Amino acid sequence: MATKIYDVVVVGSGPSGGTLSAHLARRGVDVAVVEGGPKIDTRTAFNTHAMPFDFANRHIPTMRPGVAGFESERSRGLGGKSMTWNAVAWRFSHRDFKGRSIDGAGEDWPIDYQDLAPFYDKIEREVGVCGNLDHLEDLPDGVFLPPVPMKCSDMIVKRGAAKLGVKVIHVRKSTRSVASATQPACHFCGNCMAGCDVVAKYNSYDVHMRPALASGHLTLLPNSIVREVIVSNENRVTGVRFLNRETRAEGEVLGRTVVLACACVQSVALLLMSKSRRYPHGLANSSGELGRNFIPHFTGGVEVFLKDLVGRPASNDEGFLDHAYVPSFMHNRKRDFARSFGMQFGYQNRRSVGWARSLPGFGQEYKRSVKDRYPGFLVFSPYGEMLPNKKSFVDLDYDKPDVHGLPMARRHVSWGENDQRIFREMTRWSREILEAAGAEFLSEDPHPATNHELGGCRMGVDPRTSVVNADCRAHDVQNLYVVDGSVFPSASEKNPTHTIMALAARTADHIADRLKKGEA
Amino acid sequence: METRRDTLKIIGAIGSTCAFPFGANDLYGQQEHHHAAALAQVQSTRAPFTPKFFSAPEYQTISRIADLIIPPTDTPGAAAAGVPEYIDNVLTNNSDVQKTMRDGLAWIDNQSSELHKKRFVELTEDDQIAILRPLSDAVDRARVNSIGALFFRMIKSMTADGYYTSQAGLVQELGYKGNTVLAAFPGCDHPEHS
């Protein structure tokens, strides 16, 4: 029997791979999703309703005892990081796509807001994004389910921020505030990032891939850790080679088109690992730019107790973690840096009391002071946009193979002057807003930390300075695509997943159109 | 009104380097941890516990200090909440902190015997507190450079971690009310905030 050749082979099954493969399958394209990890049932696999005292060491582990999943970056499981994300869903704005044109630093995207707007619409209709229509130029409104009410802590922060002319809005999340025919509404148990056991929160398996299986055009291949993208003498990719996660046996999946959607760093790593005579420095890397322009978000943190809540009885306010957001405001103000920052806050649930050890003293008085402060504890987490620099990149560490014998991806991050200015300013603003809201300060992160990995396969017009084009297609190889955070030429300060999903929907249309025309 | 200076005192108290097996924010498994976490039996009555790391006298001392840090009030104290078991579990699984603990326990009993010719657990509560107070003050001033202060910072952190992640600490004492099913999120019901 001849080996099946799929129309499209997608590597990775997170928000990007899940969205893309479902959209292709619905259009009648035969697609195989190759995922390193096992199939995960979100209803039973996670510790959604666990408490720390259920475990001797008080760590709530990701998976229930004996359940496989989330073993390594290369083998999380079907659904990828969408299983444990916090579901924050912003649209990027014109400013985010055209930062270089606006403030002269970093890089522009080759596409603009209008190019993605219809796909944001599409994703919001499919997934169910709750949010308020805020009419902000920098944070475009969309097709929203009703927003979830704010908590008392949000109202207090909102009042403080208003004194400084800073707006606080309802968060927007890919979590259903209203049930659909197939998904229930959120029940506010407060542990979204442990995995949602009812699929009120979007995950790419239950919301995108599972329903698409009915089309008969989608094949899921879990437990298959891809180690190489195969390239032919004719400079076309023909499929991928993988290792079985359990048996380590080698295998191949063949396709007319290959899409990498492995969550930024792992897509970069897979291309770097795919060396050939034509591409000795990694596939699709004739520019030498592969792995460069790594621009993860950086975050800080200020921990406080809101004085208005100190001494009150604790209330059931975990909700679906953070309910409010401070959208970027500095881009409209006088500042000594390019780009901007936004602020998330209050996304720790009330099962975390790690701050208690930091209060002074001991004995009855100490015990009382912890209890009094418990309802008022709040973490402010501003997020800033990093500019690309030569010292920030991803490469491979061949000296330290992972359990599968594959080189580990290595991140190099160095903060530039602009990044440090934003970090100082976003920390200062966090303090100012909290002070205006009435806060007792507990601690402050002195250094930026990375989150939301982006860049490494930059999208651009010029094949000498970018890896993929405006359609997410490799400049070097006609039938190879990369669709995840790695293609972002600039990072914005906004959580990236919603934009990654819109890009995936757009790329699915592009690939399906090409296949239809026989161009692929 | 509280000034910035007052609040910074608390920031200073935290210190920048911690001799603990994990940071406060890492405690609850938000990251991908791969410890083989055995499900603890949720027991209505606690069975007698045999410590794995501590000797019997050490365990007595640890239990006493934990209860001095978080004493019983109208809710259980650290010992009744199972904190000594938790601390023994942490020490058993983290060899890098064992020396600080052992040295500290020895220092505590030395101090007791020098001052009162008795073991720590045999002292009156006032005498026990008098030994711990300067250690606690040193930790709060971020002057953690003696065996005693290092020890106190460690046991206080472990006591706080263990207590406030226990049923008694989190639910009874702090009044944790989450992890329920709500048909709708109620929003803020404080008239002055909404």
Query: Residues A351-407: pLDDT tens digits?
Result: 989 999 999 999 999 999 999 999 999 999 999 999 999 999 999 999 989 988 999
Is residue A123 within 8 Å of A19, Cβ to Cβ?
yes
Residue of B nearest to A375 (CA): B174
Q: What is the pLDDT of residue B46?
A: 58
Per-residue model confidence (pLDDT) at position A140: 98
% chain A with pLDDT above 70: 100
Least CB–CB distance from B42: residue in A54, A61, A356? A54
| Chain A contact present for B42, CB below 8 A | yes
Identify residue A415 by its one-letter amino acid code. Answer: W
**B130 touches A: beta carbon within 8 Å:** no
Question: Is B158 domain-assigned?
Answer: yes
Please check whether residue B187 lies inside any domain of the structure. no
Nearest to B149 by CA among B93, B111, B96, B92: B111
pLDDT computed for residue A348 by the predictor: 87
Is B30 within a domain?
Answer: no
Mean pLDDT throughout A235-254? 97
Instruction: Say whether pLDDT at A22 is over 90.
Output: yes
Share of chain A above pLDDT 90, in %: 98
Contact B160 A357 (CB under 8 A): yes
Q: Does the pLDDT of residue B109 top 60, yes or no? A: yes
Q: Give percent above pLDDT 90 in chain B.
A: 74
pLDDT 10s digits, A402-460: 988 999 999 999 999 999 999 999 999 999 999 999 999 999 999 999 999 999 999 99
B63 in any annotated domain: yes
* Nearest chain B alpha carbon to A193: B30
Count of pairs with CB atoms under 8 A, one residue in A, one in B: 206
CATH number of the domain bearing residue A415: 3.50.50.60
Question: How many distinct structural domains can be found in chain B?
Answer: 1
Phi/psi for B149 (5° steps) reads -70, -40
Predicted pLDDT of residue A37? 98
Answer yes or no: is the ipTM higher than 0.90: yes
Would you say residue B33 lies in a domain?
A: no
- The closest CB to that of A354, out of B156, B161, B175, belongs to B161
Looking at the domain assignment, is residue B15 inside a domain? no
Provide the pLDDT confidence category of residue A114 given band limits of 50, 70 and 90: very high
pLDDT (0 to 100) of residue A325: 98
Each residue's pLDDT tens digit, A141-174 = 999 999 999 999 999 999 999 999 999 999 999 9
Provide the pLDDT confidence category of residue A3 given band limits of 50, 70 and 90.
confident
Q: Does B178 reside within a domain? A: no
Average pLDDT, chain B: 82
Quick one: average pLDDT of A187-211? 97
**Probe site for chain B from A55, A57, A62 (most B CB atoms < 10 A):** A57
Flag whether B32 is in a domain: no
Q: How far apart are CA B40 and CA B26, in angstroms?
A: 20
Residue of B20, B26, B27, B33 to mutate for A, most A C-beta atoms under 10 A: B27
A358–B166 CB contact, under 8 Å: no
Residue A352: per-residue pLDDT: 85
Q: Is residue B20's pLDDT more than 90?
A: no
- What integer is the mean pLDDT of B114-142? 97
Minimal C-alpha gap between B152 and chain A (Å): 10
pLDDT tens digits along B153-178: 999 999 999 999 999 999 999 999 99
User: What residues make up the domain containing B75?
Assistant: 50-173
For residue B2, is pLDDT > 60? no
pLDDT at B14 over 50: no
Report the relative pairing of strands A302-306 and A377-384 from DSSP bridges: antiparallel
The whole domain housing A304 covers: 5-516
Which amino acid would we find at residue A443?
Answer: S
Cα-atom radius of gyration of chain B, to the nearest Å?
19
Average pLDDT, chain A: 97
- Token readout for A428 is 């200062």
Percentages of chain A per state (helix, strand, coil), in multiples of 5 = 30, 20, 50
Query: How much is the CA Rg of chain A, to the nearest whole Å?
Result: 23
From CA B165, how far away is CA B154, in angstroms rounded? 17
Smallest Cα distance from A375 to chain B, Å:
9
Number of folded domains that form chain A? 1
Kindly state the average pLDDT of the residues A24-37: 98
Range name among A265-269, A507-511, A514-518 with the lowest pLDDT average: A514-518
pLDDT exceeds 50 at position B4: no
Whether the per-residue pLDDT at B33 is higher than 70: the answer is: no
pLDDT confidence tier of residue A1, bands split at 50, 70 and 90: low
Task: Give A16→chain B minimum CA distance, Å.
Answer: 21
Q: Among A91, A94, A95, A145, which Cα is nearest to A119's?
A: A91
Judge contact between A154 and A168, C-beta under 8 A.
yes
Residue B9 is predicted with a pLDDT of 35
pLDDT digits (tens, 9 = 90+) for A265-309: 999 999 999 999 999 999 999 999 999 999 999 999 999 999 999
**Spatial contact of B150 and B19, defined as CB atoms under 8 Å apart:** yes
**Contact at CB, B13 and A56, closer than 8 angstroms:** no
Report pLDDT for B36.
32
Secondary structure (3-state) at A55: strand
Residues A489-501 pLDDT 10s: 999 999 999 999 9
What span, in angstroms and rounded, lies between the C-alpha atoms of A102 and A406? 42
Binary contact (A60, B129; C-beta < 8 A): no
Residues B187, A149: C-beta atoms closer than 8 Å: yes
Helix (H, G, I), strand (E, B) or coil at B27: coil
**Residues of chain A with C-beta less than 8 angstroms from the C-beta of B37:** 55-57, 59, 61, 65
CA A113, A114, A116, A121 torsion-angle sign? positive
- Quote the pLDDT of residue B40: 39
pLDDT tier for residue B25 given thresholds of 50, 70 and 90: very low
Contacting residues for A145 by C-beta, under 8 A, at least 6 apart: A128, A129, A130, A131, A176, A177, A178
| pLDDT interval class at B19 (50, 70, 90) | very low
pLDDT digits (tens, 9 = 90+) for B74-94: 999 999 999 999 999 999 999
